[in-house]
């Protein structure tokens, strides 16, 4: 069974059971700062778990690309990946535990043909507030599992959520494939990492809402969130031993053999696996409409870390030329049918990979020599100081994780706390070197600065209106004379585009619209369409500033009372700020008192 066949089989199975196909969301969550990347298909559905009606109904199914970095050090083994596809299905207040479990069980055993004897499941054993989940236990018994296949765990293993400080949550029941290998101990079970149990998917029973005080209250409409890992199911569906034997990776491994002239064997296996996994992840990130590029912060840092880790593994194979574009083209070819955006953005992907290779190549050799000097001076089992680790970062662009990996190869460790201390000092110096900034990017609280702040909201909305919703604010600075606004975009704007943005803002000004402020729950704000600024870590209650018909943003303020106060908006300059980020400088004029 190919990956595409498995995708189609899965979607068909749940569509036959009256689930509507939900479009996948971006790999970068829209207006959600709780995580850097989409880690589960359910993230876009949180407002609907709280009772809001979904336009497609109360039974949904989709396939969502996800990225998780928690297992990055495990990449190269048989199962762990950074980017993976999640097969998800949901009930929004419709069916509950028994029907969800039955559908999961039939899909695994009858559709994919996994013997029920090779399954194991976990259930929530209860706590001081919530009783043991006997409904789930009894349902698994009905499916034909015996007591040796059911394992009881606490909150750490079998409780999901909430995604933030508050929100929907509840017990879950994970499903595992039991490998035909001896147990690691008498207490061996699904919570072990010994390899005997491989997680296939999870049934989450969203039964409660956790309040700001930590108290749990039952939801009026209980929900189901089920997720399966496509890559792991593909292994079992084809009787394979690892993910790199699937059609998702075989073409990449074959190409890497051809490009490097080396065989994929015991000596090269780990490097080959890391390279093909990371190039696939990098291509997916670069193809996303969020326009993420390698950088030293947030999503860009994760991308840079993956690319630079991959470059080093390529060098370890003895390859000293840039082969990233060739590998990226193979990924694009493999996914152009299922993810056409990957193929369409190939020029941008290749350009960014070339840029990052060039940047890292200039300092990599000298950086590795310096790292070797630092590490070789240490005694056996010694620790590299935070000062030296930061020097490798600041001078040679080595992500901390790369330094940790280099140290680990020499049986050394790194003073991570020390590195963080130097890093924070570096950040503080950078902040102090810039003009003082207050909430919202204001350098002062003058009347003109406040009005310019409102103008940035309209500018942001205008850019998204003209250029598309892939545009996100990347920063701003406002003084009493002008605004400076940075946003994600990968090319220079045309004069026509700038005129359209300017016209959008001035139209809103001419309509004399009141700037309204309301306070609401963060999830409610995001689900209502409010845009988050700076990827801020929002409190439970947030302020939302609305200019009806034009802009709605989560922001701390301050703002004008009415758009007419801005009088007129004029763009002075549009230029590059950094890779993938553009900058606009603008002014407002002819101020009127309202």
Residue of higher predicted confidence among 267 and 543: 267
Q: What is the mean pLDDT of residues 437-461?
A: 75
CB 482, CB 585: distance < 8 Å: yes
- Longest Cα separation, the chain: 80
pLDDT digit string, tens, across residues 60-73: 999 999 998 777 87
Q: How far apart are CA 548 and CA 530, in angstroms?
A: 12
pLDDT band at 268 (very low <50, low <70, confident <90, very high): very high
Percent of the chain topping pLDDT 90: 51
Residue 442's pLDDT band (boundaries 50, 70, 90)?
low
Query: DSSP H helical segments within 377-446, as ranges?
Result: 386-396, 400-409, 416-433
pLDDT over 60 (residue 438):
no
Predicted TM-score (pTM) of this structure: 0.68
pLDDT of residue 538 exceeding 60? no
Confidence at residue 364, expressed as pLDDT on a 0 to 100 scale: 82
Q: How far is CA 465 from CA 470, 500, 510, 547, in A?
A: 10, 9, 18, 14
Residue 345's SS3 state is: coil
Percent of the chain at pLDDT exceeding 70 = 92
Residue 523's pLDDT band (cuts 50, 70, 90): low
139-148, 270-279, 375-384: lowest mean pLDDT where?
A: 375-384
Q: Look-up: residue for tokens 């880690």?
A: 39
Mean pLDDT in the chain? 87
Tell me what pLDDT residue 429 has: 56
Each residue of 73-92: pLDDT tens digit? Answer: 789 898 889 999 999 999 99
- In contact, 497 and 467? CB cutoff 8 Å: yes
Q: Among 79-83, 209-213, 551-555, which stretch is predicted with the lowest mean pLDDT?
A: 209-213
Cα–Cα distance measured from residue 461 to residue 297, given in angstroms and rounded to the nearest whole number: 24
For position 537, what pLDDT does the model report? Answer: 42
pLDDT of residue 31: 55
Q: Does pLDDT of 534 surpass 70?
A: no
Q: For 9-45, what is each residue's pLDDT tens digit?
A: 999 999 999 999 998 888 887 655 567 888 888 888 8
pLDDT surpasses 50 at 592: no
Element spanning 327, H or E: helix 324-335
What is the pLDDT averaged over residues 519-539?
A: 63
pLDDT at 50: 79
Average of pLDDT values for 116-134? Answer: 94
Nearest to 174 by CA among 193, 153, 148: 153
Residues in the chain: 594
**Which pLDDT score is estimated for 490?**
83
User: Torsions phi, psi of 322, nearest 5?
Assistant: -80, 110
The H or E element that residue 66 is part of is strand 59-67
pLDDT score at 9: 96
Q: Which of 159-168, 346-355, 573-582 has the highest mean pLDDT?
A: 346-355
Higher pLDDT, 426 or 176: 176
Please tell me the predicted confidence (pLDDT) of residue 594. 31
Domains of the chain: 3-242 (3.30.930.10), 249-355 (no CATH), 377-433 (no CATH), 439-589 (3.30.980.10)
Q: What's the confidence (pLDDT) of residue 501? A: 96
For the segment 283-306, the average pLDDT, to the nearest whole number, is 87
Please tell me the predicted confidence (pLDDT) of residue 556: 74
pLDDT at 98: 96
Q: How confident is the model at residue 591 (pLDDT cuts 50, 70, 90)?
A: very low
pLDDT in the model for residue 248: 94
Alpha-carbon span 101 to 204, nearest angstrom: 10
Q: What tokens were used for 177?
A: 């494939």
Question: Alpha-carbon distance 215 to 209, whole Å?
Answer: 8
Q: What is the DSSP letter of 68?
A: -
> How high is the pLDDT of residue 45?
86
The pLDDT assigned to 481 comes to 83
How confident is the model at residue 416, as a pLDDT?
92
Mean of the pLDDT values across residues 545-571?
Answer: 89
d(CA 76, CA 309): 12
Q: Minimum mean pLDDT among 62-66, 300-304, 352-356, 492-496: which range? A: 300-304
Q: Is the pLDDT of residue 193 over 70?
A: yes
pLDDT, position 583? 92
Span 339-348, mean pLDDT?
Answer: 87
Quote the Cα angle for 353-79-302, to 5°: 30
pLDDT band at 579 (very low <50, low <70, confident <90, very high): low
């Amino acid at each position: 069974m190919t990956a595409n066949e498995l995708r189609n089989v899965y979607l068909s199975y749940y569509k036959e059971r009256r689930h509507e196909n939900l479009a996948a969301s971006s790999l970068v969550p829209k207006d959600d700062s709780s995580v850097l990347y989409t880690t589960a298909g359910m993230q876009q559905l949180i407002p609907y778990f709280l009772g809001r009606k979904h336009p497609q109904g109360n039974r949904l199914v989709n396939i969502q690309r996800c990225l998780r970095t928690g297992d990055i050090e495990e990449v190269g083994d048989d199962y762990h990946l950074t980017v993976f596809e999640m097969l998800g299905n949901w009930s929004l207040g419709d069916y509950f535990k028994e029907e969800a479990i039955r559908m999961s069980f039939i899909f695994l055993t009858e559709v994919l043909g996994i013997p029920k004897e090779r399954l194991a499941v976990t259930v929530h054993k209860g706590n001081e507030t919530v009783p043991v989940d006997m409904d789930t236990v009894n349902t698994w018994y009905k499916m034909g599992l015996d007591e040796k296949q059911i394992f009881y765990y606490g909150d750490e293993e079998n409780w999901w959520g909430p995604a933030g400080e508050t929100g929907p949550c509840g017990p879950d029941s994970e499903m595992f494939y039991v490998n035909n290998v001896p147990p690691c101990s008498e207490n061996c079970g699904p919570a072990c990492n010994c390899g005997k149990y491989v997680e296939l998917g999870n049934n989450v029973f969203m039964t409660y809402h956790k309040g700001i005080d930590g108290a749990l209250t039952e939801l009026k409409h209980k929900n189901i969130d089920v997720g399966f890992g496509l890559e792991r199911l593909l292994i079992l569906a084809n009787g394979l031993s690892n993910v790199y034997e699937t059609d998702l990776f075989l073409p990449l491994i074959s190409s890497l053999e051809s490009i490097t002239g080396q065989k994929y064997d015991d000596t090269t296996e780990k490097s080959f696996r890391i390279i093909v996994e990371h190039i696939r992840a990098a291509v997916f990130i670069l193809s996303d409409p969020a326009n993420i590029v390698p950088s030293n912060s947030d999503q860009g840092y994760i991308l840079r870390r993956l690319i630079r880790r991959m470059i080093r593994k390529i060098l370890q194979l003895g390859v000293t030329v840039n082969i990233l574009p060739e590998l990226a083209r193979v990924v694009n070819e493999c996914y152009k049918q299922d993810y056409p955006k990957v193929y369409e953005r190939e020029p941008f992907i290749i350009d960014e990979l070339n840029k990052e290779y060039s940047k890292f190549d200039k300092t990599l050799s000298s950086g590795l020599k310096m790292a070797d000097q630092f590490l070789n001076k240490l005694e056996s089992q010694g620790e590299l100081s935070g000062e030296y680790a930061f020097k490798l970062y600041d001078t040679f662009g080595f992500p901390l994780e790369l330094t940790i990996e280099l140290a680990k190869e020499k049986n050394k460790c790194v003073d991570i706390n020390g590195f963080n201390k130097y890093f924070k000092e570096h950040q503080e110096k950078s902040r102090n070197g810039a003009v003082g900034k207050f909430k919202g990017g204001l350098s002062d609280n003058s009347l003109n600065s406040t009005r310019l702040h409102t103008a940035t909201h309209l500018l942001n909305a205008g850019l998204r209106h003209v250029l598309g919703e892939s545009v996100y604010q990347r920063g701003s600075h406002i003084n009493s004379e002008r605004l400076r606004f940075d946003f994600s975009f990968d090319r220079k704007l045309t004069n026509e585009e700038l005129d359209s943005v300017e016209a959008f803002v001035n139209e809103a000004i001419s309509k004399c619209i009141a700037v309204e402020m309301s306070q609401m729950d963060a999830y409610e704000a995001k689900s209502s369409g409010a845009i988050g600024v700076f990827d801020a870590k929002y409190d439970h209650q947030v302020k939302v500033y609305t200019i009806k018909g034009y802009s709605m943003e989560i922001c701390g303020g301050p703002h004008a009372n009415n758009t007419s106060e801005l009088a007129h908006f004029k763009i002075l300059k549009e230029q590059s700020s950094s890779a993938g980020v553009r900058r606009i400088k603008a002014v407002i004029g002819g101020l009127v008192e309202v």
